[in-house]
């Protein structure tokens, strides 16, 4: 076999099938064809041997259990605390203008890169936005109508109970006062953080 035929064989060699051959994913006919090919092709037989060595090395490496490697009990807590404390600069207000500037430059580069296709892209974005707003409007109106119906039913029920009993009026007022206190505390906590 001369150098020219080796180059041609290297081009036509089924290198992707070598890994499938090792994994047993080929049909018996494909295995027999590959065996016959590797009997005459040094490139493929070398590739098969290299893949076998890699596979054997990985199996040996993965089968070995590291005896000297022990993680501390609070390993995950320490890693989590370090990861949270290493996040720096994410909440600084001076970074917002820089982020806005970088975003604006990237948008400008995209617009320049699109060139004549900008009108087509803009039309697609406009169409998507209109469809998204239509679906969002439908969902909003559905939620609004359900809440309105629920409010009407509650009003009718409460009208019957509130005016028929002073005790039920007291419970409703106490409930509303408690809800007001809870809401005010939530707003105060939100404002503190």
Q: Residues 84-118: pLDDT tens digits?
A: 766 555 566 677 788 889 999 998 888 888 777 87
> What's the distance, CA 43 to chain centroid?
41
Q: Print burial letters for 18-33: b (CB count within 10 Å at least 16), e (below 16).
A: beebeeeebeeeeeee
Number of domains composing the chain: 2
| Mean pLDDT per 10-residue segment, the chain (193 residues) | 41 74 84 86 84 79 64 78 65 76 89 80 89 94 92 80 71 87 87 74
Last residue of a domain, one of 63, 95, 114: 63
Please name which of 2, 55, 1, 12 lies closest in space to residue 37, comparing C-alpha atoms.
Answer: 12
Domain span at residue 22?
3-63
pTM for this predicted structure: 0.30
- Tell whether 93 is covered by a domain: no
């Amino acid at each position: 076999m001369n150098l020219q035929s080796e180059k041609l064989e290297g081009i036509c060699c089924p290198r992707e099938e070598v890994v499938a051959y090792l994994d047993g994913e080929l049909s018996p006919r494909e295995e027999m064809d590959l065996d016959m090919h590797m009997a005459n092709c040094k490139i493929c037989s070398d590739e098969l041997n290299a893949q076998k060595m890699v596979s054997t090395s990985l199996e040996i490496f993965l089968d070995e259990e590291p005896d000297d490697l022990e993680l501390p009990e609070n390993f995950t807590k320490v890693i989590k605390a370090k990861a949270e404390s290493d996040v720096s600069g994410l909440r600084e207000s001076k970074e917002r203008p820089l982020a806005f500037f970088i975003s604006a430059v990237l948008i400008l580069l995209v617009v320049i890169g699109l060139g004549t296709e900008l009108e087509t892209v803009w039309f697609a974005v406009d169409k998507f936005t209109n469809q998204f707003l239509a679906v969002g409007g439908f969902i909003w109106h559905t939620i609004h109508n359900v809440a309105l119906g629920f409010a009407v039913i509650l009003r009718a029920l409460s009208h019957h109970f509130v005016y028929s009993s002073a005790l039920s009026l007291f419970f409703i007022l106490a409930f509303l006062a408690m809800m007001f206190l809870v809401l005010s505390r939530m707003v105060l906590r939100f404002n503190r953080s």
